[in-house]
């Protein structure tokens, strides 16, 4: 029996990472995705809108991965999901300038207090953040989603955001702890160039809701000291 077939649909469909063997302490799971929740850790986090990938597409992705070697499945699943997110599926409520601005302001609000931002990008249906945490990651994500979710649902009809259900955000999120300096550079480049890769603008600095946009970078977002 394939153990993946017995896992809940949301685990099989959205698992972007497995807790790697020998990883630092701090991994936990609430029955969905495994997360690394240790403070003072540099992490890359992605969270998405609730309707950004329908279950039918997630099942399709799982079927495409069925014949891969187990060690390659997680990485390939992440690539496929990110490709579909960049294609602009769902209501893409974050495309609205007002909501995108609220999301960006929310990220910046606690920079230097609960976390240290290095890079971020607010895409139409998902958000990428690279940061060093000084508070539990789950609490940080909860506060971001809670505030922006309430704001969006209150403004849904007025702004024509098109959010179809009772919630703005998917419950879970993906996180990866940064291993070394090269990993940091690669993740930062991916985040800041995501709008260009998705065909939303010609150069990264043209996208107003990211750390690379003129005037957005926080004072303390220089590259940290990491092992190479």
* Domains of the chain by residue range: 3-17+26-206
Residue with tokens 């994500």: 141
Q: What is the pLDDT of residue 220?
A: 56
Asked whether the predicted pLDDT for residue 150 surpasses 80, the reply is yes
Quickly state the pLDDT bin for 227 (edges 50, 70, 90). Answer: low
Asked whether the predicted pLDDT for residue 39 surpasses 70, the reply is no
- Record the pTM: 0.79
pLDDT averaged over every residue in the chain: 81
**What φ, ψ does residue 206 adopt, rounded to 5°?**
-80, -20
User: What are the tens digits of pLDDT across the range 11-21?
Assistant: 333 333 333 33
Q: What CATH number should be reported for the domain whose range is 3-17+26-206?
A: 3.30.70.1290
Q: What is the pLDDT of residue 71?
A: 78
CA distance 195 to 199: 6
User: What are the tens digits of pLDDT across the range 155-189?
Assistant: 999 999 999 999 999 988 989 889 899 999 999 99
Which strand (E) or helix (H) includes residue 24?
none
User: What are the tens digits of pLDDT across the range 74-93?
Assistant: 878 878 888 889 999 999 99
- Using CA atoms, how far residue 214 sits from 195, 205, 209, in Å, is 15, 7, 10
Quickly state the pLDDT bin for 221 (edges 50, 70, 90). Answer: low
């Amino acid at each position: 029996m394939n153990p993946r077939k017995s896992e809940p649909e949301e685990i099989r469909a959205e698992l972007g990472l497995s807790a790697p063997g020998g990883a630092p302490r701090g991994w936990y799971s609430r029955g969905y995705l495994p997360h690394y929740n240790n403070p003072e850790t540099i992490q890359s986090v992605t969270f998405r809108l609730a309707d950004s990938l329908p279950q039918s597409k997630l099942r399709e992705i799982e079927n495409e991965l069925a014949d891969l070697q187990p060690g390659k499945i997680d990485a390939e699943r992440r690539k496929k999901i990110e490709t579909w997110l960049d294609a602009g599926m769902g209501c893409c409520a974050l495309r609205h300038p007002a909501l995108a601005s609220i999301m960006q302001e929310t990220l910046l609000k606690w920079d230097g207090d609960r976390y240290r931002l290095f890079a971020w990008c607010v895409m139409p249906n998902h958000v990428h953040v690279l940061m060093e945490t000084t508070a539990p990651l789950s609490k940080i994500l909860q506060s971001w989603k809670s505030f922006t979710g309430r704001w969006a649902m209150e403004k849904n009809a007025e702004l024509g955001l098109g959010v179809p259900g009772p919630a703005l955000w998917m419950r879970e999120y993906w996180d990866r702890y940064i291993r070394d300096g090269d990993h940091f550079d690669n993740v930062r480049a991916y985040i800041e160039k995501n709008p260009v890769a998705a065909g939303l603008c010609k150069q990264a600095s043209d996208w107003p809701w990211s750390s690379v946009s003129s005037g957005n970078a926080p004072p303390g977002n220089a590259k940290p000291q990491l092992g190479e």
